[in-house]
Amino acid sequence: MEILEQIAREAEKNTQVPAYPRSVEKVIAAVMSSSDFWKIVDLSDEPLPLVAEILKLLNKHDLVAFEGDQILLTEAGAELARKAKIEAFASHVCPRCKGRGVVIDNLREAYEKFLKIQEERPPAIHQFDQGYVTPENTFARVALADSRGDLRGKKVVVLGDDDLMSIALALSGLPAKVTILEIDERLVNFIKEVSDKYNLGIDARVHDLRQPLPEDVVGAYDTFFTDPPETVEAIKAFVGRGVATLKAERCAGYFGVTRRESSLDKWRKIQKVLLDMGLVITDLIHNFNEYVNWDYYEEMRGWQLTPVKKAPEDIWYRSTQFRVETVRGFKGFNEPIVGDIYNDAESSTT
């Protein structure tokens, strides 16, 4: 299909994001499934900047029309879809576990407490690329880690915690110890207050993860959680630091990587960084994480790129949950990080 090839090439040239005919096909399939820009990004699983550019090029070729804040296929677009055998997306996701493979039924009591506590949480701010996951998702991460034997009696560290994972872990009563390192004082103070009030014993410290870890955290933990910004540098900084906290071989780490701000070409680089750190990727659960819409969306780069201006309503930003485990020869990364860990051609919510 010449036109798909041509649009892919032009989109890549204009965005510096790797683009393929399949990227264009998926955007067309998403437009056949929804007229909402954010839902189209969600369904296409391509980086936001690339989706925005492909939509503009499809519009230029009169294959897609922008009517108000709706994005619709034109007659010519529908004809192209027929010829290229492109259909709307079919969903087979489990309604019970939402595709996560775990449920939080056995964490009900801690979850109810968390729901109340998190009502006072500090809002997500643009400065640190914050965006927290839903409370149910936070507990699904606890359930996943517990089902892998990574929590009971273990020392757990959370690197960056706008998700309040530290509070959820401590409320579950499963880990022997919970430490959190977080750059944002608002979050550290909130977590300390909650820990004091509910007697959770959380070791919470202000720390900029671009700086090496505190001495007593290096090589002292069994399991780490983090949810890094979407650049390879940030993965090195946050996950590399996570690995540096681990005691030994066969220890686990959990983090999210999105398709919203990372192409598969970037995923390949990220996965190579993980393997080079001596990690095995044991689990990769697509759309495990769902992020509550943050209110600074008009300040993010992605907003400037959208072809129609409409506030996101439903959750659209999701990430794949990775579980990694150390084997012989693993090595963490504990050098100072310089330079920008928040922005690259594909990131767009910073």
Ligand X SMILES: NCCCCN(CCCN)CCCN
Which residues bind to ligand X, rule: CB under 6 A?
A: 129-132, 162-163, 227-230, 256-258, 291, 294, 317, 319, 349-350
Q: Which is nearer to ligand X, 7 or 170 (CB)?
A: 170
Please, what is the minimum distance in Å from the beta carbon of residue 165 to ligand X?
A: 9
Q: Which is nearer to ligand X, 29 or 178 (CB)?
A: 178
Q: At what angle do helices 232-245 and 264-276 cross, to 10 degrees?
A: 30
Residue 311 burial class via C-beta count within 10 angstroms: exposed 0-12, middle 13-18, buried 19 and up = exposed
Q: Which is nearer to ligand X, 227 or 346 (CB)?
A: 227
Per the DSSP assignment, residues forming a β-bridge with 65 are 72
Q: Which two structure tokens, joined as six digits, stand for 121?
A: 């949480």
Nearest residue to the partner ligand X, using Cβ: 131
**Hey, what amino acid is at 157?**
V
Per the DSSP assignment, residues forming a β-bridge with 253 are 224, 324
Please, what is the minimum distance in Å from the beta carbon of residue 252 to ligand X?
A: 17
Residue 115 is given by DSSP the state: H
Output b/e per residue, 86-98; b: 16+ Cβ within 10 A. Answer: beeeeeeeeeeeb
Q: Which is nearer to ligand X, 129 or 222 (CB)?
A: 129
Please, what is the minimum distance in Å from the beta carbon of residue 230 to ligand X?
A: 5
Please, what is the minimum distance in Å from the beta carbon of residue 68 to ligand X?
A: 26
CA–CA distance, 132 with 34 (Å, rounded to integer): 25
Q: Which is nearer to ligand X, 25 or 162 (CB)?
A: 162
φ/ψ region of 123 (left if φ > 0, alpha if ψ in -120 to 50, else beta) reads beta
Please, what is the minimum distance in Å from the beta carbon of residue 159 to ligand X?
A: 11
